[in-house]
Amino acid sequence: MPILTADKVADFFKNGAPVMLDEKVAPRFKSGDRIVGKNIHPKGHCRLPRYVRGKRGEIVEDHGVWIFADTNASGRDQKPQHLYTVIFTHEELWGADASPRDTVVMTLYDDHMDHA
């Protein structure tokens, strides 16, 4: 087991703990795709925020293949998949009274979305 001693601190910080993987996994989405957040309620860790479940957004960018945080939190199953930047309008999230101009952006994994 590696022990963090004083001389290893700077390298530990610099190297960090990258979660992007150099693996080939087919993406389910591409930029410009309309998506809907899945209506799921897993009992474990979940990075799909409740306020975008069932909400429609648009893929802005594909960031490649990442360790899936949801499964990595329990049992360390990496379940590699694509991570995307997704944009939602305030009106979609908060209704007709919301600002017509404002938006919310987040990153979601393949397992979090369906095509709208």
Partner 1 sequence: MDGVHELAGVDSNFGPIPIDPNEPLFFDEWERRVFGVTLSVAYAGLLNFDEFRFGIERMPAWQYFAARYYEKWAATLETNMIEKGVITPEELEARVNKLKKEG
Partner 2 sequence: MSNVSLLARPVSIERRGNLAMATEKSVRVRSYEDDVSIRVRAIESILSEKGIIDKGGVDEIIDFFEHKIGPRNGAKVVAKAWTDPQYRKWLLEDSTAAIASLGEEFVGLQGEHMKVMENTPEVHHLITCTLCSCYPWPTLGLPPMYFKSTSYRARCVKEPRAVLKEFGVELSDSTEVRVWDSNSELRYMVLPMRPEGTDGMSEEQLADIVTRDSMLGTEIPKV
Among the listed residues 58, 114, 111, the one whose alpha carbon sits nearest the alpha carbon of residue 86: 58
- CB count in 10 Å sphere of residue 84: 27
42's contact among partner 1, partner 2, none, with CB below 5 to 8 A by partner kind, is: partner 1
Segment 66 to 95, residues that bind partner 1, using CB under 8 A: 69-70, 72-74, 76, 93-94
Binding part of the chain for partner 1, among 23-31, 55-63, 64-72, 108-116 by CB under 8 A, reads 64-72
Among 99, 114, 115, 116, binds partner 2 (CB under 8 A): 99
Least distance in angstroms from the C-beta of 30 to partner 1: 27
Among 20, 34, 39, 49, binds partner 1 (CB under 8 A): 49
73's contact among partner 1, partner 2, none, with CB below 5 to 8 A by partner kind, is: partner 1
49 contributes a contact to partner 2 by CB under 8 A:
yes
